[in-house]
């Protein structure tokens, strides 16, 4: 797979990564604590949220959700046309808030290389 995905998955503070279209996971590196079914459900939920925001004319490119012990950073691939919602995503599982900026930078680099 892409060197950028490997780089992102191996960053300090990153515990998991899914490259997906909706709930269809194209590439993954999951922590032992997350099953494939749970990852697919997370990815489907992320996709639906981005589509909902787009339908409300509030297109998202990135979202960060922080929970008590882990966080989730989602980086959307820019759609081909501004009137379309994002359909492809990198969902990054984090255990360290300090990793957010670097993860976002590497994620954007991955989309530019595609």
Read off the pLDDT of residues 94-113 as tens digits, 9 standing for 90 and up.
999 999 999 999 999 999 98
CB 93 within 8 A of CB 17: yes
Q: Is the pLDDT of residue 114 over 80?
A: no
State the Cα angle at 90 between 88 and 93, rounded to 5°: 150
Dihedral of the alpha carbons of 48, 49, 50, 56, in degrees to the nearest 10? 110
Q: Are 14 and 8 in contact (CB under 8 A)?
A: yes
Chain segment 4-51, per-residue pLDDT in tens = 899 999 999 999 999 999 889 999 999 999 999 999 999 999 999 999
Boundaries of domain holding 23: 3-113
Closest residue by Cα to residue 96 from 73, 70, 76 = 70
CATH number, position 63:
3.30.450.30
**Domain count of the fold of the chain:** 1
């Amino acid at each position: 797979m892409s060197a950028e995905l490997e780089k992102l998955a191996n960053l300090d503070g990153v515990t998991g990564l899914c490259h997906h279209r909706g709930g269809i996971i194209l590439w993954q590196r999951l922590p032992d604590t997350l099953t494939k079914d749970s990852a697919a459900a997370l990815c489907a939920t992320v996709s639906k949220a981005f589509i909902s925001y787009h339908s409300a004319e509030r297109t998202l490119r990135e979202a960060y959700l922080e929970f008590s012990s882990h966080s989730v950073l989602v980086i959307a691939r820019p759609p081909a046309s501004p009137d379309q919602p994002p359909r492809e995503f990198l969902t990054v599982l984090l255990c360290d808030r300090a990793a957010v900026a670097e993860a976002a930078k590497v994620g954007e680099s991955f989309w530019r290389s595609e």
